[in-house]
Copies of this chain bind each other. A is one copy, B any other.
Amino acid sequence: MKQMLFLVPLIGLAGLLFAVFLRLYVIRQDPGNDKMREIADAIAEGARAFLTSEYRILVVFVAILFVVIGLGTRSWVTAGCFLVGSIFSTIAGYLGMSAAIRANCRTANAARTSGMRQALSLAFSGGSVMGMAVVGLGLMGVGALYIITKDVSVLSGFSLGASSIALFARVGGGIYTKAADVGADLVGKVEAGIPEDDPRNPAVIADNVGDNVGDVAGMGADLFESYVGSLISALTLGLVFYQESGILFPLLLSASGIVASIIGALLVKAIGNSDPHKALKTGEYSATALVVICALVLSRTFFGNYLAALTIITGLFVGVLIGFVTEIYTSGDYRFVKKVAAQSETGSATTIISGLAVGMQSTAVPILLVCIGILISNRLMGLYGIALAAVGMLSTTGITVAIDAYGPIADNAGGIAEMAGLDKSVREITDKLDSVGNTTAAIGKGFAIGSAALTALALFVSYAEAVKLTTIDILNAHVIIGLFIGGMLTFLFSAMTMESVSKAAHQMIEEVRRQFREDSGILKGTSRPDYASCVSISTNAALKEMFLPGLMAVLAPLATGLILGPDALGGLLTGALITGVLMAIFMSNSGGAWDNAKKYIEEGNHGGKGSTAHKAAVVGDTVGDPFKDTSGPSINILIKLMTIVSLVFAPMFLQYGGLL
């Protein structure tokens, strides 16, 4: 049995090699004509410049935190694991993004020369690099470090590495992409009246870069940390309650998930035809079915019953159901988005009110689903069961991320087709791919939210184990204070990230206006706009603005643990978990509802494009941008990062915590 442990990093490595192989496959394809290559190069250059600058800052941050961890926990092995975690997260982000920025023009070219099937295959391969890199590096890292150290407690360092990089990638990427998006839309589309992705818009390259750094690299880092965090909390609790079996089961289940994801990905490419939606769904469902079978076998092998498999299935189900609910609240096919669209007829105030109400209302069912998931998995296997449900939900991360990352690639391909002046039929294919991506992405979002809740909860339980708290008592005044502060931090964090987007977008608006004003040839199409200055505004703003929220996420739990003690810190983590999950669902779904209400009107309802209703809906969409793409998803990481910081520094709080 124990030898099977060595399988774990090997299968992780296999996943990584599959990612590398797909990346080579993408690169070998024809990048298209000169014009397309020129645009793609500009996007690639901007994306690389951002990542390089971001990594340069993160090196300093990681170095400082490395020393703090070493000194604070007196375990340089933990600090070493932290280092490996941050490096692995960085590599995953880099690999995934470098494939995405190459897949975009090649997807456009495939749509031009070979049609839908080849375009789908390319876009999906590009996305799969991110997906497989995430799970491959994640499982390889956890597995190898466990084999080397034989110590579960130091692994939390690896998770902290993943979480720190994820927070900066999500916040930085989110600010980048929305500053560019809002800037490009408000001046280009609204003021100058030129269409989306028009090459005359100086912010258009920055906007496309944003899709890559925000929706690909940021999202990949997010799921890398969820994946790693859920695994490590399962190992921590598994060791306490079920010894060796408690460790082997989640590791081997995740390994089977990687194999299932590879098979699912190959299926997508094999059956890819005129119906990309069917291909993606088939791939995802096949992977899920394979994981379920493996879970049953592994559960029987390690525990002699099927309870562990049932927790895995519970996690998978809850994830899928949250995805469905998310779609119901945010897709134009259902009544909620239609209501927001209808309210746009009486102006932007009613659009905003109804969008906010839909977002708040949409928290109810996902929260109940999470509660049911907790109730069932806890009944089946106690607190360890909750961690397993999270592992189950994330077992198909390989293909979920692939489908998520495929969307922005198709979106970018459409942008390149537009800017390079390709035939309309090309744009039609990429639009089709993009719209399918939007639908399937809802399910991805469901997984991201559900897994964040369960993972943070499992990590929180691990923290309690680590500081030897068998109970965290709500009637203790310190815990109450912690609860209030934790809840408040998510509101403060949301305010900070929204303000950052506001500020950055403002700079972008000024710059685009300046260019239009100073060179009238730009709008006539006779002069080339200065794309680079817009790219550098987004880059600088994102890097500058991501710092404070990131610092807060690390310092708040440290300060609380030291000043008020481990009990208060337990309260803080709980407060942040509850309000964080709610705020994340609320903000993501309000944003999604506004976005699709606008699209619904653009399809010709309520007067269509240019109508009063459309103008009101554009206001809603603009408010929704930082909601759904910056603040909302960043909160998911905030709550996990604060928990993992507490877990890593638990030994320090035990010794010095509670000055007050």
Contact = CB atoms under 8 A, between A and B. Distances in A.
A363 B475 contact: no
A65 interface: no
B470 A475 contact: yes
Contact of A495 (B357, B506, B618): B357
Interface in A330-346: 343, 346
Given A370-B484, A492-B361, A353 B582 contact: no
A367 interface: yes
A623 B457 CA distance: 35
- Chain copies in the assembled complex: 2
B488 A582 contact: yes
A578 B483 contact: yes
Interface residues of A, number: 76
A494 interface: yes
A147 interface: no
A488 B364 contact: yes
A581 interface: yes
A310 to B, nearest CB: 16
Interface string A112-149: 00000000000000000000000000000000000000
A375 B660 contact: yes
Nearest to A474: B472
Contacts of A408: none
A156 interface: no
A218 interface: no
A480 interface: yes
A502 B355 CA distance: 11
Contacts of A363: 488, 491-492
B475 A474 contact: no
A153 interface: no
A383 interface: yes
- The SS class assigned to the A binding surface is helix
Contact of A619 (B352, B371, B486, B502): B352
Contacts of A505: 350
Given A348-B348, A502-B343, A375 B623 contact: no
A349 interface: yes
Contacts of A494: 357, 360
A378 B480 CA distance: 11
A350 B473 contact: no
Interface in A482-536: 483-488, 491-492, 494-496, 498-499, 501-502, 505-506, 509
Interface of A: 186, 343, 346-350, 352-354, 356-361, 363-364, 367-368, 370-371, 374-375, 378, 383, 386, 453, 457, 461, 464, 469-475, 477-481, 483-488, 491-492, 494-496, 498-499, 501-502, 505-506, 509, 570-571, 574-575, 578-579, 581-582, 586, 618-619, 622-623, 626, 660
Given A186-B346, A487-B578, A578-B579, 12 more contacts: A186-B347, A348-B619, A353-B498, A353-B622, A356-B623, A357-B498, A363-B491, A374-B480, A375-B478, A375-B660, A453-B484, A473-B473
